[in-house]
Each structure stands twice: as structure tokens, then as C-alpha cells.
Amino acid sequence: MEQQSQQFKENAARALADAESVAQRDILALFTPLLRDAAVAEFGDYEALRQHVKQVRDHTLENLDYYLARFELEATNNGNHVHYAETADDMNSIVLDICQQHGARKIAKGKSMVTEETGLNEYLQRGGLEVKETDLGEYIVQQAGETPSHIVGPALHKTRQQIREQFLDNHDLGERELDSISALVGEARTVLRDHFLQAEVGIIGSNALIAENGYSMLVTNEGNGDLCANLPNVLIICTTLDRVLPRAEDATAIQRLLVRSATGQPHTCYTSFYSGPRREQDADGPLETHIVLLDNQRTDILASDYSDMLRCIRCGSCLNHCPIFAATGGHSYGWVYPGPMGSVLTPLLTSLEASEALPNACTSCGRCEEVCPSAIPLPDLLRDLRHEQSVQKITPASWRNGLRLHAWVAARPRLYHALTAAAISLMHRLGRKQGRFSKLPLASGWTSKRDFPVPQGPTFMQQYKQKAKANEQ
């Protein structure tokens, strides 16, 4: 996927101009937090589990070399082939080589953000393979020639009517109504069934790798992951180094946090553990299993001040609670990972220069940190990235100088309060007839899209002092 993060402002402006999409995102932004909150409230001591998972993830990352070696040993003993990929190209090359060794032509693929990151689909297609996404949301966006707009719900930006029209145009199944969600799902199942049965290779991701037994855990809601894993003769699991955990109980602890944070469910529909290739006594399963572990800057992040980001379990809760994501949608971020987690992760995986707009796509409301099941201090990391941009002089000089001036004034409370009071008084006098400003110096980013209301009454500090004085009397 070509990165377009620098076009965030332009992408966001287009997204805000689409009234139908805005209305749809508003509904999602209203209900998804309610579902999460209800699931958390029913859990019991959610915070205790959250802190436990944080400790486990920190411990594992601090001892990553040990747990990776243990996982590789156990996975190999189970009959798996374990591969290490330093870069995205390395992972893509390893996967293509495996497919070519087996003469594969058709690939059944489960949902995987890692393969979105590496651009695996396009790479395999250039190699002459037919790759079909089998997760319903991923299938919809692949068929539409689009990219996912959300790391959990790839097609959340699509309406039911849009999907209906898409299926009618692309599926040669004769006259039909497709007037219900169940009909749309049923048709997707019908179309995908033949591909499942014909695919020589299945590719899936992994939510956790378990060091003590060499197992891989996958969480899904549709069961397509199990079909990708068990029907083809060859299974390839694509994931990253940081997914490893010490014990099976650590993986299930993450699963309990993941599903509640992602979709508000107490449990996901399918939680699968893959040990390795089919044994003689097994009724089904792949004949050969490969696990490809991607680095792609993860070890650099681990050694940096941003190592907290590696605790991310890809639940999407920070996206669901972010006012910027709700307003602009996932595609505005211009790469694989949107929302607060993407605004941190994208600069770390690509470059700060190529993602300059993303750390600034934040209101500093702090909701992302509050709901993060891994307790990642996302606002702090975003603030650190903005500081780094200033130090490296990536942001425009006018912006840096403006912030320096503001900091100098803000460090002098009497001067700050006096200037604020004077500015509000002046704006009130100038705008009292119309009640709004259509243009303001140094505020074109605001007034180009909306009017600025005329300030009313005294400043906050003036009101505070008045109230304190009244209470004393």
C-alpha cells in the first residue's frame, strides 16, 4: 500500500465533505464505545487484568530473545517451519517462495494487518497467484479495490446498499434481491466456498504466539481463519516478533481484553490454537505449516523510547473512541494503521518525515489511553513525536516559532491573562453585531470550514476569580 500520510489534511477535508459517510461515522462513534463500556462493566475487576497483561507484555518484550528462541524450539518440535523476516520484502519473498515450491495457484487468506503492512496480496498477485480475502469485511474492500478503513472492521465505511450494489455487479448469480444482511452474508459464503476448496495454500495471521508450547492463537468472528488453516495442504502464519507470550494463560488473558475492547463481546465466536501440521490421528489440517515472524522496525522500536507501543494488541478501541478518527475516517490517515495507534506506529514503521501530519491529528483528550487494554500512554507518545518533529525541524518554521512564542507567554501567567483578556475584549467589540467571524488572522484553518463564534463574557480566569471572591463574602 502506497503511503499517503502527508495528505492527511486533504484526505480529512474530503471525508468531512461526504455527508453520508459523516452520518455513518457519527453512529459508529456513538454506539461502539457504549458496547465496550457495557462489556467492561460486566467483567468484574477489569483494571486488575489490564495491569496484569501490561506487566506480562513488558516482561516478554524485555526478554524477547529468550521467548522467541523458546517459541521457535517448541514450534519446530511440533513440526512447524519457522522463518524470520527482517523487512516487509523479506516476508513477501518467503511466502511467495513457499507457494511456488508447492506449485500453488490459489490462496485462501484470512484477515491480517501484518500482510496489509507488507503489501503481500499485491506481491503474490504479481507472482501470478490468485489471492482471495475470506474475512467478509476484507473480501468486500478487496473486491472494491479499496483498503481497510478500520483494523477490526475493514468495511465499516461501506453502507449495506453499497455492498449490495457491489455484489450485484461482481457476482454472476442471476436475478436476486439481496435486500437483507443475511442474504449478503449468504452470497459471500457461496462465492467463497469454491475458493476454500480449491486453494492449495492458506494464509492467516496470529494474535499471540505461545512460547511454552509453540502454539499460535487466532481470534475471529467468522470461522474463515479455521477454513484457511485446515482445508489447504499448506498453512502459512504471518505475524510479528512482538506477538510472543510466555504461557497459554497469558494468551487467553489478552483474548479476554481484546474482544471486549474491539467489539464489546464477552467472547469472540472463534478462538483457535494451531499447534502444527496434521498428525496421523488427526481428521484434518494442513500437511505442512510455516510461521513467518516479521521484524520490520520492531526491534528498533523496542530499543527506543516508544517501546510501549509494542504492547498494542490491535483491538481498535483507541480508534472507536477518538474524535479525530470519528470525524475523518480511517482512510484519511493514508496508510495501514489509522487512529491514535496508527498516528504513533506509522511514523515509527516508516518515517517521521513521511508521516508529519499524523502526530498532530490529536485533540489531546486522552480517551485513547483511558480505554487502551494494554495501558499504552498514547497521548504521551504523540506528544513526544511532535517534540521530535520540532527538534528535527520537520514542522514548518512558522509553526515552531509560533509555539515558542506561545510557550514564552504561557510561562508568564500575568502577561498571558492580560493578553487573553485584551484579545477577548477586542474580539467581542469587533464581532458583537454579527455574532461570528467568517475570517480571522492566523486562524484560516478554522474559518475556512466554519465560522468562529464571538467570545461571550469574561475569561475563565476572570470568572474563577469572581466566583472565589463571591464565596469569600
* Model confidence pLDDT, tens digit, residues 203-237: 999 999 999 999 999 999 999 999 999 999 999 99
Q: Is 258 within 8 Å of 315 (Cβ atoms)?
A: yes
**For the whole model, what pTM was predicted?**
0.91
What is residue 459's predicted lDDT score, i.e. its pLDDT? 81
Q: What b/e sequence results for 361-393 when a residue is b if at least 16 CB atoms lie within 10 Å of its CB, and e otherwise?
A: bbeeeebbbebbbbbbbbbebbebbbeebeeee
Handedness of CA 154, 156, 158, 159 (dihedral sign): positive
- The runs of H, that is alpha helices, within 2-144 are 8-17, 19-41, 46-62, 64-77, 88-101, 113-118, 120-126, 136-143
Mean pLDDT, the chain, whole residue set: 94
When mean pLDDT is compared across 106-115, 253-262, 423-432, the lowest value belongs to: 423-432
Question: What percentage of the chain has pLDDT greater than the value 70?
Answer: 100
- Residues 6 or more apart whose CB falls under 8 angstroms from that of 212 comprise 70, 74, 246, 247, 248
Interval 296-344: pLDDT, tens: 999 999 999 999 999 999 999 999 999 999 999 999 999 999 999 999 9
- Residues 6 or more apart whose CB falls under 8 angstroms from that of 368 comprise 317, 318, 321, 322, 339, 340, 341, 378, 379
Fill in the DSSP letter of residue 200. S
User: Do β-strands 436-437 and 452-453 pair in parallel, antiparallel, or remain unpaired?
Assistant: antiparallel
Compute the half-sphere exposure of residue 92: CA atoms within 13 Å on the CB side of its CA: 18
Domains of the chain, with CATH numbers? 43-296 (3.40.50.10420), 415-472 (no CATH)
pLDDT exceeds 80 at position 446: no
What is residue 398's predicted lDDT score, i.e. its pLDDT? 85
57 vs 160: CA distance, rounded Å: 39
Interval 30-74: pLDDT, tens: 999 999 999 999 988 999 999 999 999 999 999 999 999 999 999
95 vs 102: CA distance, rounded Å: 11
